Amino acid sequence: GRTSMNTPSKPLAGVKVLELGTLIAGPFCTRILAEFGAEVIKVESPDGGDPLRKWRKLYEGTSLWWFVQARNKQSLTLNLKHPEGIAILKRLLADADILIENFRPGVLEKLGLGWDALKADNPGLVMVRLSGFGQTGPYKDQPGFGAVGESMGGLRYITGFADRPPVRTGISIGDSIAALWGAIGALMALRHKEVNGGAGQVVDVALYEAVFAMMESLVPEFDVFGFVRERTGNIMPGITPSNTHTTRDGRHIIIGGNGDAIFVRLMRAIGRPDLADDPQLASNAGRDARAAELYAAIDAWVAAHDGDAVLAAMEAAEVPASAIYSVADMFRDAQFAARGMFESATLPDGTPIHLPGIVPKLAETPGGTEWLGPKLGEHTSEILAGLGFSAEEIIALREKGAI
């Protein structure tokens, strides 16, 4: 990375990553590595590139999401249906540390880029494969998007209210969870190479398993008690009280009084010392048995006060609570500002833009934004020149449709 004496180097400086991915799961995985200094080359098809470039809100024809999802990445266009496009990709992979791909299983094999071929050229390569169902098993050839992973992995079934069909979380969270597991797997495989002197390996991430891994106590509760967890709306199942309440001025506030001492403080704060001192309510099991009564009491108190007063009372009583933030709330919040969670940047035409800050915060080697998501093929000539292609050869490759 570009570092001066004052800028600490990023922890993944010198790690070479190739991204063969589109939309969310693969690109979010490499985005994390790129934010922390990995050299990420994103391989895109010359005819339009990653569809995410056109997703959701566009500015001057380019998705605003793109500028974040592809930050710090280089864009190389290669036609993978052209033998010279494949040959260039193989040269890049021979020198790469990590390949991250989210094609359907079997696609890379058809291109001659299966694990056995890649390993022969580069035994140290770490290949992260993100797919709907993984590289094996009866479903492996089916297309699987994040929504499918969330459904099969258990998240959708328990999300929403009991009297209504399941609902989705407002983001493609299955893809993003898979991306996180992919990044963790890649780093573990690198650690194995560096410390144990091991070879490269395949990191096989299935979207449905990435979601399934988040499902808390679902498996043992079903196995031991035959218990099937159902939808419980905004209530935290089995832990009382923890819920969303609506204020007099129409704001939604979550209040978590689910600790024995916290519960007592909460009841006193809402003017219910009788409940605070009720021996039946001294433990969670007793509170859970009387959940409807407790929620009615909290609902009634919150509905009689404005949001600011509710939050002030909870803070004074040291009860965990928060307004449910819209993005507008985030932009005016002191905590977001103090922690640098909105970074200032500039779009190619000079328009100022705020981007989400980098997570997590490393004290000595923080990540950062070096540049925004690049134009399609912005780095093609530079990367090919680095491989030893002359200007004339690059022109010829363009004319043949290989790049």
Residues that are catalytic: 175
Work out whether the CA dihedral 101, 103, 105, 107 comes out positive or negative: negative
Bridge partners (DSSP) listed for residue 40: 17, 73
- Tokens read off for 207: 């979207």
- Tokens read off for 126: 């770490």
- Tokens read off for 171: 């983001």
Rounded to whole angstroms, the Cα distance separating 69 from 7 reads 23
**Sheet containing strand 126-131, strands side by side:** 73-77, 39-44, 16-20, 98-101, 126-131, 202-206
Rounded to whole angstroms, the Cα distance separating 242 from 236 reads 6
